[in-house]
C-alpha cells in the first residue's frame, strides 16, 4: 500500500484548471516535496487530499482510504499544517494542543503525555503556559507543527511550512521536520517554493507548474538533469 496514490486527480475553478490529472504515488515513510511557484496548484492538491475540497474528477487514496467515500478514515489518519495560521491566540500553547486532542477523542492521560512529547519535539516546553498571542512567528509555526502531530497521524501535510519566516527560524523548522520524520515515523508531504528547502528536506521532489507535475525525482537527479542544460563557454587562447 502507498501512503498516497492519486488517479488523474483534477480540480477546476470555473475556467481555470488548478490541478490537472495528477498521478502520484508516495511511499510510506517518505518526506515528499511539491515544489512550484505561486498558483501552481500545491495548496489545492493538499486540500483535496485532506478532504477539505472535492475533486472535479479523478480521485485518490490516503493511507489506503478514498478521499471521497472514506473521508472520516482519511481525516483520522492525517495531520495538517496549512498556510493560514489557525491557532487560538487567547489560549496558551498547551491549551491549543489540548483542544485539538479533545476533538480527536484522545483520553486525558494520553493527551497529557502527548502534549509533553510534541512540545518537546519543537522545543516549546518552556513556553507551554504562555499565551500564544505572545509567541513569535516562528514559535507559532512550531506550535502548529506540534498540533499537526498530536493525534499520531500516519500522514502529515505541511503547506509552505517556512513561508514568511527569517532564515534562522527556517533552518530550525527544517531541523524539527527532519527530526519528526525520523522519530514519529510519519509520512510527510510538504509544499514549498524554496528550492533549497525541498533539496534539504525531501527524499523525492515533484516540480509542479500550472497544475501539472513537470518533473519528479530525487534531488540529485533533478539537479543533474538541470546541470546537463547548462551551456559552458570557453574562450580561445589570449582573448
Ligand atoms: N477557491 C478558489 N477559487 C478560484 N480559484 C482558485 C481557488 N483556489 C485556488 N484557485 C486558483 O487555483 C490556482 C492554484 O492555486 P493554489 O493551489 O493555491 O496554488 P499554490 O498553492 O501552488 O500557490 C491559482 O491560479 C489560484 O488562483
Ligand atoms: Mg499555496
Residue 111 CB less than 6 A away from ligand 1: no
Spell out the residues 6+ positions from residue 139 whose beta carbon is closer than 8 angstroms to its own.
Answer: 93, 124, 127
How far CA 126 is from CA of 32, 61, 85, in Å, comes to 31, 39, 21
How many percent of the chain have pLDDT more than 70? 94
Q: Supply the residue whose CA is at minimum distance from atom 1 of ligand 1.
A: 13
Strands, E, within the chain: which ranges?
Answer: 4-13, 16-22, 25-26, 31-35, 57-62, 65-66, 78-81, 155-159, 187-192, 204-209, 212-217
Residue 93 CB less than 6 A away from ligand 1: no
- For residues 140 and 132, the answer to whether their CB atoms sit within 8 Å is yes
Q: Which of 9, 12, 13 to mutate to test the pocket of ligand 1 (most atoms within 8 A of CB)?
A: 13
Question: Would you state the pLDDT for residue 210?
Answer: 96
In what helix (H) or strand (E) does residue 4 lie, and over which residues does it extend? strand 4-13
Domains of the chain: 4-223 (3.40.50.300)
What number does the ligand 1 atom closest to the CA of 45 have?
17
Residue 40 CB less than 6 A away from ligand 1: yes
What number does the ligand 1 atom closest to the CA of 38 have?
23
Q: Which three cell numbers stand for residue 195?
A: 528550492
Q: Distance between terminal CA atoms of the chain?
A: 61
Question: Would you state the pLDDT for residue 85?
Answer: 76
How does pLDDT run across 201-212, given as a tens digit for each residue?
Answer: 999 999 999 999
Of 47 and 235, more confident: 47
- Position 237 confidence tier, pLDDT thresholds 50, 70, 90: low
- For residues 176 and 121, the answer to whether their CB atoms sit within 8 Å is yes
pLDDT tops 80 at residue 83: no
Residue 22 CB less than 6 A away from ligand 1: no
Q: Supply the residue whose CA is at minimum distance from atom 24 of ligand 1.
A: 39
Task: Give the Å distance between the CA of 189 and the centre of ligand 2.
Answer: 13
pLDDT tops 60 at residue 231: no
DSSP state of 133: G
pTM score: 0.90
Q: Which ligand is nearest to the CA of 208?
A: 1
Burial grade of 235 (CB within 10 A; 0-12, 13-18, 19 or more): exposed
Residue 192 CB less than 6 A away from ligand 1: no
How does pLDDT run across 2-33, given as a tens digit for each residue?
Answer: 999 999 999 999 989 999 999 999 999 999 99
Q: How much is the average pLDDT of 146-153?
A: 92
In what helix (H) or strand (E) does residue 17 lie, and over which residues does it extend? strand 16-22
What number does the ligand 1 atom closest to the CA of 40 have?
22
Amino acid at each position: 500500500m502507498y501512503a498516497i496514490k492519486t488517479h488523474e486527480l483534477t480540480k477546476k475553478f470555473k475556467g481555470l484548471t488548478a490541478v490537472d490529472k495528477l498521478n502520484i504515488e508516495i511511499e510510506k515513510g517518505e518526506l515528499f516535496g511539491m515544489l512550484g511557484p505561486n498558483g501552481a496548484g500545491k495548496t489545492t492538491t493538499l486540500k483535496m487530499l485532506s478532504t477539505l475540497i472535492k475533486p472535479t474528477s479523478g480521485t485518490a487514496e490516503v493511507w489506503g482510504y478514498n478521499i471521497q467515500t472514506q473521508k472520516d478514515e482519511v481525516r483520522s489518519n492525517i495531520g495538517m499544517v496549512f498556510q493560514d495560521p489557525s491557532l487560538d491566540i487567547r489560549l496558551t500553547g498547551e491549551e491549543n494542543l489540548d483542544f485539538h486532542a479533545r476533538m480527536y477523542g484522545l483520553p486525558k492521560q494520553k493527551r497529557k503525555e502527548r502534549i509533553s512529547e510534541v512540545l518537546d519535539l519543537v522545543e516549546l516546553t518552556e513556553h507551554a503556559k504562555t499565551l500564544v498571542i505572545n509567541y513569535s512567528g516562528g514559535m507559532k509555526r512550531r506550535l502548529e507543527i506540534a498540533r499537526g502531530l498530536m493525534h499520531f497521524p500516519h500522514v502529515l501535510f505541511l503547506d509552505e511550512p517556512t513561508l514568511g519566516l527569517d532564515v534562522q527560524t527556517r533552518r530550525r523548522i527544517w531541523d524539527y521536520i527532519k527530526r519528526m520524520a525520523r522519530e514519529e515515523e510519519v509520512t510527510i508531504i510538504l509544499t514549498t517554493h524554496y528550492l533549497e528547502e525541498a533539496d534539504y528536506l525531501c527524499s523525492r521532489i515533484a516540480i509542479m507548474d500550472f497544475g501539472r507535475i513537470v518533473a519528479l525525482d530525487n534531488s540529485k537527479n533533478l539537479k543533474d538533469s538541470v546541470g546537463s542544460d547548462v551551456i559552458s563557454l570557453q574562450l580561445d587562447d589570449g582573448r
